[in-house]
Amino acid sequence: MNRRSIELLAVDGGGTKTLAVVVDSDGTVIGKGHAGASNYHVTGADGAKKALVEAVLAAFKDAGIEANKAVNIEKAVFALAGIDTGNDEKEVKLIVQRAVEALSIEIGSLLVENDCLSALLGATQNKAGILLIAGTGSIVFAHDGNNRIVRLGGWGHRVGDEGSGYWIGKQAIASVLKMVDGRGEETLLSKLILEKFNFNKIEDLYNWTYSDSYSVDDVGALAAVVGEAFQLGDTVSKRILDAAVEELLLLIETAIEKADIQQDEFDVIIQGGVFHHNYYIKNQVCQRIQESTAKVKVRTTTEEPICNIIKRGLVLK
């Protein structure tokens, strides 16, 4: 049987969507495919496998690779959310193995790892560095350039994700309810949040938070509302943003210490919607890290994580 050979298959799988890309030897993307969530904590093992297969098949189709044709892949990186423990790693590797078998593909060098870790190692090319992602959630990975890898945060919206969009939005809702009680000062957030959700009164907001319509993404989107209120001079919003800055700095500073790279030259890469949409948080974090750490270079990027996952894959042996 004739087999089609490709250089790299890179997959970025998360809690809401999965992206697969086919890459040639020059690093050029020749095919992309999308599917739903592939975090097995969200979809279950079968749902994760299904999403991986769908995304890869769509990428093959986009690259002009016919379905049911045998394919050789030199290297593959499955950078997936939900790999946070040793047990997660075992479970996810089994899911990927099942997906590869269903696709009938042969892979020369296969890597399965946490999506954020993969993006960090791709961005830094295995040199010392830190990646902080603050979107709906928040997480940081650090690498000392040798064998030490440190992960902090990323414990999810129920018990963690401090400084994230969701965390900021949750503080905003709590501040509005405190205002209604008389335990907190007046804030523009009450008016702006009601407008955001097309609610008529605060009671509607409260009822929504305990309804089936409540979603982490919707609360995370309130980070932009807090930023708007801050620009209008709202002191409550400034306190929320300042608290978010402190939480994000704590993630970075602790990661630097645990990775033991205080004396090294290294990059801190900050990424995610919180930095993209809120310049106050971005500027505060960048400025204070550069002031406190002598040899650090802070880089902000709007590149999609898949770009760094591709870089990670291309250097695999």
Letter for the amino acid at 279? Answer: Y
Confidence of residue 295 (pLDDT cuts 50, 70, 90): confident
Averaged confidence pLDDT in the chain: 89
Model pLDDT, residue 89: 92
> In sequence order, which ranges of 232-278 are alpha helices (DSSP H)?
235-259, 273-277
The pLDDT tens digits for 99-116 are 999 998 889 999 999 988
267: which 2 tokens?
A: 């990059």
Q: Percentage of the chain with pLDDT > 90?
A: 57
Model pLDDT, residue 69: 67
Query: What is the pairing mode between strands 129-134 and 138-143?
Result: antiparallel
Helix (H), strand (E) at residue 4: strand 4-13
- Per residue in 24-49, is it b (16+ CB within 10 Å) or e — as a string? eeeeebbbbbebbbbbbbbbeeebbb
Letter for the amino acid at 45? Answer: A
Q: Percentage of the chain with pLDDT > 70?
A: 97
Cβ-based neighbour number of residue 229 at 10 Å: 26
Model pLDDT, residue 67: 64
The pLDDT tens digits for 151-201 are 999 888 888 889 999 999 999 999 999 999 999 999 999 999 999 999 999
Q: Which of 2-11, 205-214, 271-280 has the highest mean pLDDT?
A: 205-214
Confidence of residue 119 (pLDDT cuts 50, 70, 90): confident
> Does the global pTM surpass 0.75?
yes
The pLDDT tens digits for 255-265 are 999 988 877 78
Q: What are phi and psi of 202, to 5 degrees?
A: -60, -35
Does pLDDT of 1 surpass 50? no
Please state the rounded mean pLDDT for residues 203-210.
95
- Within 13 Å and on the Cβ side, how many CA atoms surround 243? 18
Question: CA of 151: how far to CAs of 51, 143, 184, in Å?
Answer: 26, 9, 36
**Choice between 25 and 45, residue whose per-residue pLDDT is larger:** 45
Please state the rounded mean pLDDT for residues 4-23.
87
What is the distance between the alpha carbons of residues 101 and 94, in angstroms, rounded to a whole number?
11
Does pLDDT of 3 surpass 60? no
| Burial class (CB within 10 angstroms; exposed 0-12, middle 13-18, buried 19+) of 137 | buried
Closest-CA residue to 77 (of 4, 7, 152)? 7
Q: Cα 183 vs. chain centroid, distance in angstroms?
A: 35
What is the distance between the alpha carbons of residues 175 and 222, in angstroms, rounded to a whole number?
13
